Amino acid sequence: MLAAPAYASKKLFNLSLPVISPVLQFSGSISETYDTGGDWVGQGTPLTGDSIRRLDEYSTTIDFAGTNIQFLGNASDTSVVSVSYGQWQYVTETSANSSVIAAAQSNLTYAWYEMVVTQTNSDTDVWMTGVDINTALETEFDSIWDAPNRTEAVVDSLGDKNEFFYFYGQWAYNASIGSVPSPVGRPYNHLVGSGDAYLNFNVPQNTSFIIINGTVGYLGGHYNVTLDPPLSGTQDYTLGSESPPNPFTFNSESRWESEAVLFAAPLDPTEEYDVIIDNIDTDGSVGVYGATFYFATNPPSSNVTSTPSPGHP
């Protein structure tokens, strides 16, 4: 269970995800998908703004641990949206003048939730741009951004793999990212898994939050993220809590190859986690850039190395 030291105060850690992130899972009819703004590369002229997705009669699901969450976007006209998370359900309206489709607040408590946002009237379009998640982390620093962090990349610019990670199966080195079929791209060293590929690594002790970055391909794809020990839900008597899934299963979808947050979660800083990324699509649609660890309460542990996973199904 997540630790909450009495001597530390809570500060909000913000994570902003574009709609292209596979952390957001969609169902229903997706009529158009665009990837725009600063992350866009390739041919044609991108639309102005962030990544957007127009959906008709859709639902969006996210498993998250946080204190509040906002689904960002707007509608072509007044649209009714139903929201469920924990023990709560409510109905709200969004319009072209609003930048928030739906929101939830959990009073600065740790809890895991599965939040589902569903459009209930099909005569209008909802344009979703992304999601903002705030998590209250215990910290001695004035800001979470003052706390130390550490990034381990899976591969360097020469294609040499980082010994912090253990790799199994087929991993192909790619030095850039760009849209397909355009050859235009930009440097972004990553490894693309295919077939029976999987990797594992150990999270440094004292880690309060982890973000795994990578790529999703234009063909879509799926992958799993498993943590040992599993993450724990917490009891929130106001909203109720959910048990985090293990493994986390994600399905990616992109009009072209794009950077993406593959996984993000608060962790118990007293635990030492083993992380496995596996069940990757056979068409090579999922790539891994690396993992970033945030140390909100204590300095990072030094000389951290990973050990091979003791077993794999």
> Which pLDDT band, with edges at 50, 70 and 90, does 165 fall under?
very high
Q: Which of 225, 296, 228 is nearest to 261 (CA)?
A: 225
Per-residue pLDDT of 4-57, as tens digits, reads: 434 457 778 888 887 777 887 776 655 555 544 433 333 333 333 344 555 555
Comparing 114 with 188, the larger pLDDT belongs to 188
Range from 141-155, 164-178, 290-304 carrying the lowest mean pLDDT? 290-304
pTM of the model: 0.81
| DSSP E strand boundaries for 49-208 | 52-65, 68-75, 79-85, 88-94, 100-105, 112-119, 126-139, 149-153, 166-178, 185-202
Q: Using a pLDDT cut of 90, give the percent of the chain over it.
A: 17
Which domains are present in the chain?
9-139 (2.60.120.260), 144-294 (2.60.120.260)
Mean residue pLDDT across the chain: 73
pLDDT of 279: 76
Question: Of the segments 41-45, 129-133, 143-147, 308-312, which one has the largest average pLDDT value?
Answer: 129-133
Comparing 181 with 140, the larger pLDDT belongs to 140
Distance in angstroms (rounded) separating the CA atoms of residues 76 and 106:
29
- C-alpha dist (Å) from residue 146 to 142, 176, 279, 296: 7, 31, 36, 9
pLDDT of 276: 95
3-state secondary structure 12-24: EEEEEEECCCCCC
What does DSSP say about strands 286-294 and 185-202: parallel, antiparallel, or unpaired?
antiparallel
Per-residue pLDDT of 272-288, as tens digits, reads: 899 999 877 766 678 89
What's the whole-number mean pLDDT along residues 158-179? 88
3-state secondary structure of 70: strand
Angle CA(205)–CA(208)–CA(214) in degrees, nearest 5? 95
